[in-house]
Structure 1
Amino acid sequence: MPKTLRSPRHVRLIDLLVEQRNRAGLSQADLAEKLGRYQSVVSQIESGGRRVDVVELLDIAAIIGLDVHALIDDLLSTRQITDR
């Protein structure tokens, strides 16, 4: 299985999370506080250095007002490098 960190879908996920966090008017520190985490955790996620597990994704989505179903649909339409 190819690596997913920094794959096209991973990059798209990050872009969507950052875009929606900004739309929600939240800084990384604001989001981190609401998650009960350090700002550095959010920074690592948004810089692509740390994966987001499903539970974290659901928590983040709820805080920033992101539709998880639409997110998944978008990611499914994003081609992976290995797609031919």
Structure 2
Amino acid sequence: MIASALASQRRAKGLSQAEVAKILGRHQPFIANIESGERRVDLVELMDIAKIIDFDVIALLRDLQDIAE
């Protein structure tokens, strides 16, 4: 869910994986691996990516909590 939400928001903002990676000082496969679910994203990385793509992490956490209940 997190991976697909990040990918959707990135696309909605009109940013490529390469553009997001460049802002983070990473290579494009870093973002591709997160979005594909091949790599887990830690909280610090999630917050950094969220800032770039204007992603509401709190809303995501609420959604995840609702699913878990």
TM-score (ref. length: structure 2): 0.92
Other-structure match for 1:47: 36
Structure with larger RCO (C-alpha < 8 A, sep 6+): 1
Shift of 1:75: 1.7
Q: How does 1:1-84 map to 2 (within 5 A)?
A: 12-79=1-68
Percentage of identical aligned residues: 51
How many residues align structurally? 69
User: CA separation in 1, counterparts of 2:52 and 2:64?
Assistant: 20
| Contact preservation (8 Å) 1:20, 1:66 | yes
| Contact preservation (8 Å) 1:13, 1:75 | no
* Gapped regions of structure 1 (runs ≥ 5): 1-11
Other-structure match for 1:3: none
User: CA separation in 2, counterparts of 1:32 and 1:78?
Assistant: 30
The CA RMSD over aligned residues, in Å, is 1.2
